[in-house]
């Protein structure tokens, strides 16, 4: 079932498969409701982990304003929107899907802020995590779309 959702992600289908196939709950999902829940669970876990990483990085580079915004503002909104999407999944799938779609905005803003600042550290790990947030946003919204 997750493979079908990944195929709907078109040009991101291989990245989607690589990201989701490691979670046994996602791989074993038998309906779109459960699949959506499991993808959102993964998205929340990954977004919180990424935010913690950014908080640590911001402490390491205290003069970097982009890192501070990423940790304290942009990723905070991504986490909140994934959590909101999960909370609405049972009662309002359309609103849940909208929140899942919007969740990638924080990661996108973080990515742009880091690029605009020319950091004194290697930004590739942050870019990789931001891309993962985008992909989790896309795949969760595609899965939830099957419920609307």
**Domain with 66 in it: what CATH number?**
1.20.140.40
Say which residues have a Cβ less than 8 Å from residue 135's Cβ, sequence separation at least 6. 9, 12, 15, 16, 19
Q: Compute the mean pLDDT over every residue in the chain, rounded to the nearest whole number.
A: 94
> Percent of the chain having pLDDT more than 90?
91
In which band, very low, low, confident or very high, does the pLDDT at 117 lie, cut at 50, 70 and 90?
confident
In which band, very low, low, confident or very high, does the pLDDT at 12 lie, cut at 50, 70 and 90?
confident
Q: Which residue segment(s) compose the domain that 80 sits in?
A: 2-145
In which band, very low, low, confident or very high, does the pLDDT at 36 lie, cut at 50, 70 and 90?
very high
pLDDT for res 22: 93
In contact, 111 and 78? CB cutoff 8 Å: no
> How far is residue 96's CA from residue 82's CA, in Å, rounded to a whole number?
9
In contact, 141 and 100? CB cutoff 8 Å: yes
**Would you give the end-to-end CA distance of the chain in angstroms?**
17
Count up the domains in the chain and report the number: 1
Whether the pLDDT of residue 93 is over 90: the answer is yes
pLDDT for res 16: 93
Q: Whole-prediction pTM value?
A: 0.94
């Amino acid at each position: 079932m997750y493979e079908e959702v990944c195929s709907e992600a078109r040009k991101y289908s291989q990245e989607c498969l690589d990201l989701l196939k490691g979670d046994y709950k996602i791989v074993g999902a038998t309906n779109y409701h459960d699949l959506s829940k499991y993808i959102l669970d993964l998205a929340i876990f990954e977004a919180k982990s990424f935010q913690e990483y950014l908080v640590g990085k911001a402490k390491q580079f205290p003069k970097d304003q982009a890192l501070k915004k990423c940790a304290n503002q942009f990723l905070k909104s991504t986490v909140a929107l994934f959590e909101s999407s999960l909370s609405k999944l049972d009662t309002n799938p359309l609103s849940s899907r909208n929140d899942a779609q919007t969740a990638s905005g924080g990661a996108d803003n973080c990515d742009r802020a880091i690029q605009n600042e020319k950091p004194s550290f290697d930004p590739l790990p942050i870019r990789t995590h931001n891309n993962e947030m985008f992909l989790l946003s896309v795949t969760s919204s595609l899965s939830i779309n099957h419920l609307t």
